[in-house]
Structure 1
Amino acid sequence: MNHLKNTDQKKIVIFASGTGTNAENIIKFFQKSSQAAVVAVFSNKRSAKVLRKAHNHNIKALHFDRDALYNSNEVLHILQDINPDLIVLAGFMWIFPANIIKKFPDKIINIHPALLPRYGGKGMYGMKVHQKIIENKEKESGISIHYVNEKYDEGEIILQARTQVLEGDTPESLAEKIHQLEYKHFPEVIQQLLEEK
């Protein structure tokens, strides 16, 4: 942990809906950095384990509902107060609202567990993606890290990383390979984008 708060430190905000394995990996990666830090974790699910993980690392954890994100602008106002350098969607299941995208242009990124544009779009997340890839006997899969726009999984791609799909692979074994790619590349891409800003 940094004992001295660096005022030049870049601020990262994470949005997640689930267990938060990627979120925690990013938090730990930047705990070793004086350049940037995760300052808040937002979740649309009160029971999401990611909120507890944020608490465990002494990071502000915020739960919000659909109204706060889409209608009342409550989430937007909190984000404007924080003024993050980057907003990271790490397993966040709702479409991101246009008003937040407009306020933070080129500052919102997402990770998707497949090689976009294939296996993307509404309803394609987590194990559903891996099951489809196995069913279709694909020879490779991977991850796509991309900017967020107003459509699911259609923003400009920043990085793709690939892994082979072997004959004996199951959705679970493929998921594990994808997690390893996520853990390696996601924090590195975040760091690179922050250095460029």
Structure 2
Amino acid sequence: MKNIVVFASGSGSNAENIINYFAKSATARVVAVFCNAKNAGVLERAERLNVPSELFSKEDFLTPLVLEKLKNYQPDLVVLAGFLAKIPADIIAAFPNKIINIHPALLPKYGGKGMYGMHVHRAVAENRDPETGISVHFVNEHYDEGNIIAQHKVALHPEDQAEEIAAKIHRLEQEFFPIVVEEVLQKQ
């Protein structure tokens, strides 16, 4: 059985989807949720789904504390599911090619610091892109620059606003993110 640790900062819909997907798996399971926001909905979801959670501060993240807690769960894969903080170099070094992230655009478009959630969707809408999508990529020392594992696209209408784009992206995330996580685990 392979161990997955999910990092999330927000409501946790992607985290819950991954937890539920692997609850039926004979090959992997989510063993913990790590969160850096004390009021994040993901903490309630994790508790309801009987998955241990680890809450940490921004200051803790910059010390060896989070890395030590993470090592205790012996993760085969660390999955960032709406996690907004940059991963420290010591964690990346401890888990080379074992940390993946989902980004709500077709990288390299709309990546980088500050490009998350509605910021991305507004930029896509303003540029009237004919399509957008999700990118799952390995995490390195730079925002959204790790090797791309998978991308899934959706067509846009010229009148689509950021909210409609967000809904389309959410459907892609829910459908494909757990499958990509499983594929990465199978290749290990």
Same fold (TM over 0.5): yes
1:57 and 2:45 matched: no
Moved more, 22-31 or 163-172: 163-172
- 1:14 counterpart = 2:6: yes
1:188 corresponds in structure 2 to 179
Aligned residues: 188
- CA apart distance, 1:67: 1.9
Match of 1:36 among 14, 28, 53: 28
Match of 1:74 in 2: 65
- Cα offset for 1:168? 2.5
Gaps spanning 5+ residues in structure 2: where?
Answer: none
Tell me how far apart the structure 2 counterparts of residues 133 and 168 of structure 1 sit (CA, whole Å): 12
Cα distance in 2 for partners of 1:16, 1:65 equals 13
Q: Cα distance, 1:165 vs. partner?
A: 1.1
d(CA) in 2 for partners of 1:144, 1:193: 14
> For 2:111, what is the secondary structure of its paired residue?
coil
* TM-score normalized by the length of structure 1: 0.94
Partner in structure 2 of residue 24 of structure 1: 16
Where in structure 1 do 4 or more consecutive aligned residues deviate above 3 Å?
none
Letter in 2 for 1:180: R
SS of corresponding position for 1:159: strand
Q: State the shift of 1:184 in Å.
A: 1.2
What SS class does the counterpart of residue 29 from structure 2 fall into?
strand
Deviation, 1:99, is 0.3
- AA aligned opposite 2:136: I
Per the TM alignment, residue 53 of structure 1 is displaced from its structure 2 partner at its CA by 0.2
How high is the sequence identity, in percent, across the aligned residues?
52
Post-superposition CA distance 1:37-56 (Å, at most 9, x none): 10000110000000110000
Per-residue CA deviation, residues 59-90 of structure 1 (Å, 9 max, x unaligned), is 0011101121112x111001111110000000
Following the alignment from structure 2 to structure 1, what is the Cα–Cα distance between the partners of residues 30 and 73?
11
Counterpart Cα distance in 1 of 2:48 and 2:29: 15
Q: Distance in 1 between matches of 2:95 and 2:127?
A: 37
Aligned to 1:3: none
Residue 155 of structure 1 aligns to a residue in which SS?
coil
Q: Distance in 2 between matches of 1:75 and 1:43?
A: 10
**Residue of structure 2 equivalent to 1:6:** none
Residue number in structure 2 paired with 1:139: 130
Deviations 1:83-113 (A, max 9, x none): 1000000010110000000000110000000
Which of 175, 179, 184 does residue 166 from structure 2 map onto? 175
Q: TM-score, normalised by structure 2?
A: 0.98
Query: What is the distance in 1 between the residues matched to 2:187 and 2:155?
Result: 31
RMSD (Å) for aligned C-alpha atoms? 0.7
